[in-house]
Each structure stands twice: as C-alpha cells, then as structure tokens.
C-alpha cells in the first residue's frame, strides 16, 4: 500500500486545528480545503460520505488548499479575528440596549446618536439611579451633542 504525502481536511469550526498541526508535524503536506469547494449534493450527509467525496475530488485533482499563514502570523490573525468578533458583539449588545429602552417607552436612540456616548451613558445611568424627570435627564446632555435639551426631553 502506497503512503500518500498529502492529506486533505475540511475546516469546520476550530476542530481541525489540532489535527492539522499533528499531520503537518508528521511531515504530511496538509491542505485545508474550503468547504464550498467540496460541497456535496444535499441529502444523506455523513462523515463517511464526506470523506469519500473529498477523496474522489482529490483523485481527479480538483482540490486546492486555502491560504494558511506561517506560524509567526497565526497569533496575529487570531487576535484580529477575536477583535472583530468583540466589535460585532458590542454592536449587538448596543442594539439589545436600544430595544430594552424602547420597550420601556424610552426612545433615547431617536435623539442621541450613540446611546453609549457621553450623553447617552449619563442619561442611562441617571435612569438606573431612579431619575424619571425628562427635563432633569435632558440636563445630562453633553455640550457636543447636536440635539438641544428640549429635543432630548
């Protein structure tokens, strides 16, 4: 039986990383394949059928490995993706805050561009401390805010 010097792996989540590193360390030329490139016909999807399909595509020379940066770049790439995720999560949480405020009949995002900015944060903190008077809340307006106190109230 001939030993193959190449191995192909379909990336799903982060589960492929340890296997990729082990196979690479063992001297195999491991190619990570884009899932769109090996997408099988829908239906009866199993790991065994996936492996057979990938092997068939490889035997016809139809698979190419995706770009994998060298070891020095991998941590930087991970940090960049992590930061990207945190930024996206922050945006989603701000939307949740806006929805919660609207459910309480407070349309703060209609008069303050950024509810997590200086004015928005000051107003929300005052509300959390129990302040309900619209005029008092509008008094927390930062000088750089485009809307007037009357508009905010």
Cβ proximity of 44 and 57 under 8 Å: no
Residue-wise pLDDT tens digits, 52-78: 888 888 889 888 888 888 878 988 988
- pLDDT value, residue 3: 47
Q: From 94, 152, 146, select the one nearest 123 (Cα to Cα).
A: 152
What SS3 class is residue 147? coil
- pLDDT value, residue 103: 93
Examine residue 133 and state whether it is found in any structural domain, yes or no. yes
Mean pLDDT over the full length of the chain: 83
Domains of the chain: total: 2
- Six-digit token pair at 100? 């919660």
Work out the average pLDDT over 111-136: 89
Examine residue 68 and state whether it is found in any structural domain, yes or no. no
Question: Phi/psi zone of residue 63: left (φ > 0), alpha (ψ -120 to 50 degrees), beta?
Answer: beta
Say if residue 1's pLDDT is above 50.
no
- Residue 31's domain spans which residues? 6-59
């Amino acid at each position: 039986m001939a030993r193959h010097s190449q191995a192909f792996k379909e990336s799903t989540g982060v589960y492929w990383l340890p296997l990729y590193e082990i196979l690479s360390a063992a001297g195999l030329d491991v190619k990570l394949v884009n899932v769109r490139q090996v997408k099988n016909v829908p239906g009866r999807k199993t790991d065994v059928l996936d492996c057979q399909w990938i092997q068939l595509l490889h035997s016809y020379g139809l698979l190419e490995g995706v770009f994998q940066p060298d070891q020095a770049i991998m941590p930087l790439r991970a940090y960049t993706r992590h930061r990207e995720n945190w930024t996206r999560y922050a945006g989603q949480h701000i939307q949740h805050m806006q929805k919660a405020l609207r459910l309480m009949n407070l349309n703060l995002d209609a008069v303050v561009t950024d509810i997590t900015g200086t004015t928005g944060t000051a107003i929300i903190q005052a509300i959390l401390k129990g302040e309900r008077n619209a005029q008092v809340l509008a008094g927390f307006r930062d000088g750089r805010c485009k809307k007037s106190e009357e508009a905010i109230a």
